[in-house]
Amino acid sequence: MDPIRGPRVLLVEDNEDIREGLSTLLEAEGYGVIPVGTAEEGLAQLQRQHVHLLITDYMLPGESGGWLVEQAMKEGCVRQTRVVMITAHPRVVPPSGVRMLHKPLDINEFLGIVEEELAALAQHAA
């Protein structure tokens, strides 16, 4: 496996077509993407390595994206990680500090939010 270049993004999305499309889009922007299909896989990745940005769908097979974020927060896996949650459900309330995006995604808005979140992380670290 090639080493990841650029800011590392963990993308948790169960729909393979969406996961591949967003991964390709983010990689074209210079981000190193770690794509996984479940919350459990996402948590395992967070336990293994630091990522700069976690992007997770809310509805996933097994545990939800909300569960993933809560577990990662409890375990301290996302202390220096920005989190964006994507959902098609109008009444999902994100955990504190989590940015919520609603489907269908506007690609330009999505990329702008990724950039904003990573800029905020860099500013916080400075």
pLDDT tens string 44-57: 999 999 999 999 99
Looking at per-residue confidence, does 75 or 6 come out higher?
Answer: 75
The reply to whether omega before 104 is within 30° of 0 (cis) is: yes
Looking at per-residue confidence, does 124 or 77 come out higher?
Answer: 77
Residue 3 has pLDDT above 80, yes or no: no
Q: Does domain 8-124 match CATH 1.10.340.30?
A: no
Give Rg (Cα) of the chain: 13
Distance CA 25, CA 9 (A): 12
Output the pLDDT for position 2.
43
Chain-wide mean pLDDT for the chain? 93
Distance CA 37, CA 16 (A): 8
Q: Report the sign of the C-alpha dihedral through residues 71, 15, 1, 29, in that order.
A: negative
Looking at per-residue confidence, does 1 or 33 come out higher?
Answer: 33
Query: Where along the chain do its domains lie?
Result: 8-124
Distance CA 126, CA 72 (A): 23
Output the pLDDT for position 126.
65
Output the pLDDT for position 4.
55
